[in-house]
Amino acid sequence: MARVRDVIPNMLLAQRGTLFPFVPVFLSIGIGLYFALRNEPSISALSALAGCASVLLVGYLRSQSAFAPLLCAVAMIALGVALAGTRAHLVAGPVLDFRYYGPVTGRVIAIDRSASDALRITLDRVWLTNLPLSETPTRVRLSLHAKYPGIPPKPGQTIMTTAHLSPPGGAVEPGGFDFRRHAWFLRLGAVGYTRVPLVLLEEAGRNKRLFQMRTAISTKVQDALPGHTGGVATAIITGDRSAIPKPVLQDLRDTNLAHLLAISGLHMGLVSAFAFGVLRLGLLLTPIGQRWPIKKIAAAGALGVAAVYLALSGGNVATERAFVMVAVMLVAILLNRRAISLRAVALAALIVLLLRPEALIGPGFQMSFAATTALVAVFGAIRDSAHDLPRHRLLRGAASVLLSSAVAGAATAPFAMAHFNQIAQFGLLANLLTVPLMGVLVIPAAVLGVLLMPFGLEAIGLTVMGLGLDWILGVAQVIAVWPGSVRPVVTPGVSVLPLLSLGAVFLILWQGPVRALGLIPAACGIVLWMQSERPEILVAEQGQLVGVMSEDGRDLSRAKGAGFIAGVWLENDGQGLKQAEAASLWNMRSSPIHHIHGKRNAARYEGCSGRRLIIASAALPDKPTDETCTVLDAEYLARTGSLAITRDPTGGWQIEKARDRSGARLWNEPGLRKAQ
């Protein structure tokens, strides 16, 4: 019996010195628990959790017991819940609770493209007619659908237009991606569109010189590299994707090359490594090379270059995360520590989660740290083992590229499949043909081009950069049309990714043979994913679309309209159908499900009898209805959000509501926001 009681202390003692990487893991568990709650915890509850976490951490620091790490683990979980809840309150802002049409004034702070490939702007300092400032959204996002858009929008400009605005929508199906929650943390209080030109009220002020610099660089890049090559170059240098056509973006996604557009770990790492190498080599050739710590000087210089790149790119979340990862490694060099280690990766993850706990549930954070952790673990294992990569420089480089692409691809594949519902079957080949070129040609040429811009000689670097990008885009275009290049994947249940992640993390971080236990939750996640079932019937939030699962796939009630919702449903089904194809399968005559779209069709409603399911996008007039008939009109859906419906054994309907799945949270309960 005594031996059994000693098992856990002995296991923890054996891990002494290697447990720090588990700190962000347990913090992540707490953050995940917060987002999984059905009811928003009160501020007093969050304060109590933060206090408990503090007490437990003090106990951990003072304790000499072998069980002390367990106190730290519990403290991190409690802190994660408190941290995420606090962050949700800190970003709180007014959310529009009605449909607005009228003048909209604001300052442009971001420009990108919507899912329909329309130019889209995000505004702050918003002003809406007849709406008090206390009820005016902090930020709004507008898609520009005007045939004559007027002025080309630029960051920092104050513009005015006439727009349609509405509150951010909820999940397109119960348990699906919650855009309303996503918008809450982006401080978006309204989204909409405009069909009239933009009017310039004020140019960017002097305090927005960085915005103006980004715009000037984007203009020069696109002047030197016209067409979609210039659009991709602009995205890599300044983070502005607005000039990339949708077909080009789709080709990159279908070949698993879309990560080359985001200013993330790859770009920040390449720019920093290039700056570090150039500075170190340059200092080595000077007289101070033998007297000064040039490695540390080069690291400090590379850190400054990374900071400039962060500011130049607009400082979005992905770039901030990449900067933190690079900064941790460069600071490690300054402190004479190993730059690339699991502790460094864990510290970077901890900093990112402390700053933005909501990043945990996004694909960017998950894929970045999955790839980085796997690469550090694999190359660390090779370094510590008797087997090493080939000694010949060319063979060693080729083996490193092949291994790193394979490891990063394998590590990120589950997250890419879960979030984007597809797997690029030739993604490894596409990355092998393009990623090395990013490091040896595209990024160095981009840095050279930016440095030469003040002298009007940017074409020297940008032309070389364009040659590399033309090759990358050509590879994407060729591979994307290969048969079977993209395979659709059904969306997993909510527990699948956590199980896979925890299993993989334990397998990598734990030392000793016990790490094999990590295979158990990972295997459970895979089995659950393979058994995933999709809802029989889906109903859109406003009743504008209905989808019924059949043997041939999901049958949709409309061939056009609600395209975003239709696309998400079909992607989640993993069937690979297009909306028009799915709509051709719809057969109202033989189905007990009847969809009524539009006010005119609703006005002609004559009642319902029998075991039928009536779904309407407008309010239905009071008509005789059999007690076995189920009627779900616009008034009902306004209270429930989107629906997932299945038939029960008695022939009735079991209805799952999106509002019930999302719960009473800050981002979807106006009364709750006012109460707290």
pLDDT score for 205: 67
Helix axes 458-480, 427-437, angle to 10 degrees: 170
Q: Are 217 and 450 in contact (CB under 8 A)?
A: yes
> pTM of the entire structure?
0.89
Residue 486 CA to residue 471 CA, distance in Å, equals 21
Per-residue confidence (pLDDT) for residue 87, from 0 to 100: 96
Res 203 pLDDT > 70: yes
Contacts of 157 by beta carbon, 8 Å cutoff, 6+ apart: 107, 108, 151, 200, 201, 202, 203, 204
Q: How many CB atoms lie within 10 A of CB 384?
A: 7
Spatial distance between the Cα atoms of 95 and 439, rounded to a whole number of angstroms: 43
Structure tokens at 128: 């809406």
What string of DSSP letters covers 338-373?
A: -SSSHHHHHHHHHHHHHH-GGGGGSHHHHHHHHHHH
Query: Can you tell me which residue has the tokens 């089995």?
Result: 527
Q: What is the pLDDT of residues 450-486, one digit of tens each?
A: 889 988 889 999 999 999 999 999 999 999 999 989 9
- In three-state secondary structure terms, 141 is strand
At 239 the pLDDT is 79
Residue 317 or residue 438, greater confidence? 438
Please give the single-letter amino acid code of residue 225: L
Cα separation, 72 vs 91, whole angstroms:
28
pLDDT tens-digit readout, 128-140: 998 999 899 999 9
Q: If you search the block for the tokens 């090395």, which residue do you land on?
A: 436
Q: Does residue 161 have a pLDDT over 90?
A: yes
Nearest CA to 140 out of 161, 119, 125, 155 is that of 125
Q: How far is CA 528 from CA 203, 495, 531, 532, in A?
A: 54, 8, 5, 6
> Helix or strand or coil: residue 236?
helix
Instruction: Please tell me the predicted confidence (pLDDT) of residue 507.
Output: 93
More confident position, 660 or 575 = 660
Virtual CA dihedral for 402, 403, 408, 409, nearest 10 degrees?
60
Could you tell me which of 278, 275, 264 has the C-alpha nearest to residue 369? 264
Give yes or no for a contact between 187 and 666, defined as CB atoms under 8 angstroms apart: no
Mean pLDDT of 419-440: 88
Q: Are strands 643-647 and 630-632 parallel, antiparallel or unpaired?
A: unpaired
CA distance 180 to 129: 24
Average pLDDT of the chain?
Answer: 87
Is residue 325 helix, strand or coil?
helix
Contact 137, 100 (CB under 8 A): no
Q: What is the mean pLDDT of residues 155-175?
A: 92
What is the pLDDT, as a whole number, of residue 525? 95
Q: Give me the long-range contacts of 654-661 (CB less than 8 A, separation at least 24).
A: 656/174, 656/535, 657/174, 658/170, 658/171, 658/173, 658/174, 658/175, 658/176, 658/541, 659/170, 660/174, 661/171, 661/174, 661/175
Round to whole Å and give the CA distance between 155 and 123: 9
Q: What is the 3-state secondary structure (H, E, C) of 581-639?
A: HHHCCCCCCCCCEEEECCHHHHHCCCCECCCCEEEECCCCCCCCECCCCEEECHHHHHH
Sequence-ordered list of residues with C-beta below 8 angstroms from that of 650, at least 6 positions apart, any chain: none
Tokens matching residue 115: 């899912």
Name the percent of the chain lying above pLDDT 70. 93
Q: Which two tokens stand for residue 619?
A: 């309010």
Rounded Cα distance, 520 and 525, in Å: 9
C-alpha of 52 from chain center: 31
Task: Give the percent of the chain with pLDDT over 90.
Answer: 40
> Taking a C-beta distance cutoff of 8 angstroms, is the pair 568, 556 a contact?
no
User: Best-predicted range by mean pLDDT among 32-36, 367-371, 434-438?
Assistant: 32-36
How far is residue 458's CA from residue 220's CA, in Å, rounded to a whole number? 8
Region for 445 from its dihedrals, namely left if φ exceeds 0, alpha if ψ lies in -120 to 50, beta otherwise: alpha
**Nearest alpha-carbon partner for 296 in 313, 283, 310:** 283
β-sheet bridge partners, residue 81: none
CA 322 – CA 616 distance, rounded (Å): 47
Q: Taking residues 645-667, what's their average pLDDT? A: 87
Q: How does strand 630-632 pair with strand 613-616?
A: parallel
Residue range 309-324, pLDDT digits in tens:
888 776 667 778 788 8
Chain segment 79-96, per-residue pLDDT in tens: 999 999 999 999 999 999
User: Which residues, other chains included, contact 263 with Cβ-Cβ below 8 Å and sequence gap of 6+?
Assistant: 235, 236, 239, 309, 313, 316, 318, 319, 322
Confidence band of 606 (pLDDT split at 50, 70, 90): confident
Element housing 228 (H / E) = helix 228-238
Integer Cα distance of 296 and 331 in angstroms? 9
* E strand or H helix that includes residue 191: strand 188-194
Q: Which residue in 379, 378, 363 sits closest to 413, CA to CA?
A: 363
Residue 156: how many CB atoms within 10 A of its CB?
21
What domains can be seen in the chain, in order of their start residue? 2-90 (no CATH), 100-204 (2.40.50), 214-488 (no CATH), 496-530 (no CATH), 537-641 (no CATH)
Q: pLDDT category, 72, cuts 50, 70, 90? A: very high
To the nearest 10 degrees (0 to 180), the angle between helices 443-452 and 209-224 is 110
The predicted structure's pLDDT at residue 376: 87
Q: Using CA atoms, how far apart are residues 24 and 31, in angstroms rounded to an integer?
A: 10
CB-based contacts of 185, cutoff 8 Å, min separation 6: 87, 88, 91, 358
Q: Which pLDDT value is given to residue 1?
A: 47
Per mean pLDDT, which range of 204-208, 316-320, 367-371 is the poorest? 204-208
pLDDT in tens, 252-299: 989 988 888 776 666 788 788 888 888 888 888 787 767 788 888 889
Q: What is the 3-state secondary structure (H, E, C) of 493-525?
A: CCCHHHHHHHHHHHHHHCCCHHHHHHHHHHHHH
Nearest to 181 by CA among 511, 659, 580, 504: 659
